[in-house]
Amino acid sequence: MEIEIENISKSFGDVQALDSVSFDVKAGELFGLIGPDGGGKTTLFRILTTLMLPDSGHAVVAGHPLTDYHAIRRSVGYMPGRFSLYPDLSVEENLNFFASIFGTTVEENYELIRDIYVQIEPFAKRRAGALSGGMKQKLALCCALVHKPAVLFLDEPTTGVDPVSRKEFWAMLDRLRQDGMAILVSTAYMDEASLCDRVALIQQGKILTADTTENITATFGQPLFAIRTRNVYGVTLDIQTYPFTQSIYPFGEYLHYTDKREKADPNELQRFLRDKGHTDIELSVIKPTIEDAFMALAEKEL
């Protein structure tokens, strides 16, 4: 295990940011910490990178306990959510700076960053502050990797990034994992869960579950229907008056419906909607996505 987290808790005043968090990440594993803003993701990253102490609990990172912060800091790479490089230094100067504080050189570990660095190399002399968002992100990743860390922490690297750049970023992570690095990455985008080996779902400081996405969705255990209609708003209002409705939410081009009962007949709902005057309903029984599972688990928790 490259990261072992055991019952970590942290409060700020009367706000409990982390509530007895436990999970672990193996070498060569791409592990996603998935949940909304304010869930506690950044606080956990700060604790694991030794920038903050937990109130209680233990963690071992790259073989070292949290108290051995010198050793942990040498062994991990950390890309915080906010751009954290020196805007007045050039691309090249930033990279050399981060290499030198870790007592290494860019040349020594060039192999690891080459694929990413070649994309920003044409701008090596440009000030980091003058780079576009996507390029800043690539430089920050290079700086986090330049000392060849055993464990890589990436805090919301894809927030506010468009779908094309997100896709490219995840492809880079996939290559790094193959080199045996343990990667813990946080995101608020549920669809990125499927790109991770395992995920932990976090909300309001609590881990709702930690497992592979397949295993998480397999525990859903409620009837789930997808409904397609042109009148999304009208159907939503009418389904809210159906006595067995657990939830009705828009999901892309569909509405997802969950039923309070253990078993439900889709034809019954279809008839109910027809009686309400909805004649264009396409209704099918579907398998849950990770987002369905997150929503169901989050509602149980509240």
Q: 70: which 2 tokens?
A: 């010198």
Query: Shortest gap between Cβ of 7 and another protein (angstroms)?
Result: 24
Distances (CA, A) of 228 to 236, 247, 249, 281: 11, 16, 12, 6
Residues 6+ apart with CB under 8 A from 265: none
Query: Shortest gap between Cβ of 265 and another protein (angstroms)?
Result: 25
Query: Shortest gap between Cβ of 214 and another protein (angstroms)?
Result: 19
Closest-CA residue to 135 (of 147, 156, 146, 119): 119
Instruction: Count CB atoms within 10 A of the CB of residue 193.
Output: 22
Q: Residue 71 interacts with another protein (CB under 8 A)? A: no
Q: 220: which 2 tokens?
A: 């859903």
Q: Residue 265 interacts with another protein (CB under 8 A)? A: no
Query: Shortest gap between Cβ of 157 and another protein (angstroms)?
Result: 14
Residues 6+ apart with CB under 8 A from 278: 229, 231, 234, 235, 238
Main-chain dihedrals φ then ψ at residue 8, nearest 5 degrees: -75, 125
Piece of the chain touching another protein by CB under 8 A; list 65-73, 266-274, 277-285, 291-299: 291-299
Residue 203 β-bridge partners:
206
Q: Residue 83 interacts with another protein (CB under 8 A)? A: no
Q: Rank residues 7 and 222 by Cβ distance to another protein and give the closer one.
A: 222
Query: Shortest gap between Cβ of 226 and another protein (angstroms)?
Result: 12
Q: Rank residues 197 and 291 by Cβ distance to another protein and give the closer one.
A: 291
Q: How far apart are CA 43 and CA 10, in angstroms?
A: 8
Query: Shortest gap between Cβ of 158 and another protein (angstroms)?
Result: 9
Q: Residue 129 interacts with another protein (CB under 8 A)? A: no
Closest-CA residue to 252 (of 213, 291, 198, 196): 291
- Exactly one of 105, 159, 194, 215 binds another protein (CB under 8 A); which one? 159
- Exactly one of 32, 35, 54, 205 binds another protein (CB under 8 A); which one? 35
Query: Shortest gap between Cβ of 133 and another protein (angstroms)?
Result: 5
Q: Residue 132 interacts with another protein (CB under 8 A)? A: yes
Query: Shortest gap between Cβ of 35 and another protein (angstroms)?
Result: 7
Mark 161-200 with x for binding to another protein (rule: CB under 8 A) and - for no binding.
Answer: xxxxx-x--------------------xxxx---------
Q: How far apart are CA 240 and CA 230, in angstroms?
A: 17
Distances (CA, A) of 151 to 6, 17, 132, 162, 293: 18, 23, 27, 26, 28
Distances (CA, A) of 203 to 32, 35, 170: 14, 6, 23
Q: Residue 133 interacts with another protein (CB under 8 A)? A: yes
Q: Rank residues 70 and 82 by Cβ distance to another protein and give the closer one.
A: 82
Residue 94, burial from CB neighbour count under 10 angstroms (0-12, 13-18, 19+): buried
- Exactly one of 86, 102, 123, 242 binds another protein (CB under 8 A); which one? 123
Q: Residue 51 interacts with another protein (CB under 8 A)? A: no
Binding residues vs another protein (CB under 8 A)? 35-39, 120, 122-123, 126, 130-135, 159-165, 167, 188-191, 203, 232-233, 236, 249-253, 291, 294-295, 298-299
